[in-house]
Structure 1
Amino acid sequence: MEASYKFYLVLVFAMFFTKQALAAQHVVGGSQGWDESTDFSSWSSGQTFKVGDQLVFKYTALHSVVELGSDSAYKNCDIGSATDSMNGGNSVVKLNKAGTRYFACGTLGHCDQGMKVTIKTVSAADASSAPGSSSSSTPNSTSAASAFHFATSFILLIASMSGFLFII
């Protein structure tokens, strides 16, 4: 009976860490970060954003991040209608559902100068056919693979400590 309990505990850990390992963190703007010199349209077109992934905005005190609620607000840089506002230089946004989200810099004039990005999030089922979904397309796939290997190692460690690692 106790062996069965340990097996299910390991299985729960495996499912939790595998789900976490498959989520990616996307540093908005890549190595340039959230800055007015970045071409966000080009950057985002090469990415696949999946439900569960995170956007990481890295920026200086000169900038901020505002989320806009509509395509119209985005196109017109209507930062006064922001649904959320973040500052502090390192903001993380979880992509918790499929759909389109709009972000811009809240500093006066920066959005008009192109410091804005549209993020189209797809469900995990749709991600395999999305642009940028191949494993060599983004550096994020490397971090997801590293996280997956870490999770797998952790699960094997727990399994071996529990006596469930069978040598084949």
Structure 2
Amino acid sequence: MASSRVALILAISMVLFSSVALATDHIVGGDKGWTVDLNYTQWASETVFRVGDNLVFNYDPSRHNVFKVNGTLFQSCTFPPANEALSTGKDIIQLKTEGRKWYVCGIADHCSARQMKFVITVLPEAAPAPSPPPSSMAHSVVSSMFGVVMATMVAIGVIFA
């Protein structure tokens, strides 16, 4: 009875920890953060986004904000009501569904003239990446190591059960 409980706990742990280990925090704009005159289209094109990942917007809240918009509002740099803006300066958006997602800054002409906008395509959790960017290599190594550690834990659990 005790050995089946250990095996069940290990199996549940593997499922829960694998989801956490595979999620990635994407700092929008990298070291520069969410600011004017940065090529966010290029930044987004070099990154693979998956369901469960997080977008992290770091910025000065007295100068910028973040709106999640649709494709039409994105093209015209039109914004929803001001109370829908994210404006803490450290906003985190979890990517919960796959598909296209659009983000803009709603301050002054930051969207239309200063390129504070970008669009991404969020892939399903298990989808293969189109072509992994160089920065994803560390994530792959961590994921592989996680698999080895979990397999070792299961083997130890079975041996001592």
Where on the TM-score scale, by shorter chain, does this alignment land: which range? 0.7 to 0.9
Work out the percentage of aligned pairs sharing the same amino acid.
25
Looking at structure 2, the residues matched to 102 and 123 of structure 1 have their Cα atoms a distance apart, in angstroms, of 17
- Distance of aligned partners of 1:71 and 1:81 in 2 relative to their CA distance in 1, 3 Å threshold: farther
Determine if the alignment matches structure 1 residue 40 to structure 2 residue 30: no
Looking at structure 1, the residues matched to 7 and 75 of structure 2 have their Cα atoms a distance apart, in angstroms, of 53
Which residue of structure 2 lines up, in the alignment, with residue 164 of structure 1? Answer: 157
Gaps of 5+ in 1: none
Which residue of structure 1 lines up, in the alignment, with residue 88 of structure 2? Answer: 88
Which residue of structure 2 lines up, in the alignment, with residue 117 of structure 1? Answer: 118
Correspondence list, 1:64-79, <5 A: 64-68=65-69, 70-79=70-79
Looking at structure 1, the residues matched to 60 and 144 of structure 2 have their Cα atoms a distance apart, in angstroms, of 31
> Would you say how many aligned residue pairs link Structure 1 and Structure 2?
158
CA offsets per residue over residues 91-128 of structure 1, 9 Å max, x none?
11111111111101121211112100101111134x32
- Distance of aligned partners of 1:147 and 1:25 in 2 relative to their CA distance in 1, 3 Å threshold: farther
Looking at structure 2, the residues matched to 84 and 119 of structure 1 have their Cα atoms a distance apart, in angstroms, of 20
8 Å contact kept, 2:67–2:80: no
Which residue of structure 2 lines up, in the alignment, with residue 63 of structure 1? Answer: 64
2:135 to 128, 135, 139: 139
**SS, match of residue 117 in structure 1:** strand
Tell me the TM-score normalised to structure 2 length.
Answer: 0.82
8 Å contact kept, 1:26–1:140: no
CA offsets per residue over residues 105-162 of structure 1, 9 Å max, x none?
121211112100101111134x3242xx42xx24355256447646865x589769xx
8 Å contact kept, 1:67–1:82: no
Looking at structure 2, the residues matched to 123 and 101 of structure 1 have their Cα atoms a distance apart, in angstroms, of 13
Letter of the structure 2 residue corresponding to residue 80 of structure 1: P
Tell me the TM-score normalised to structure 1 length.
Answer: 0.79
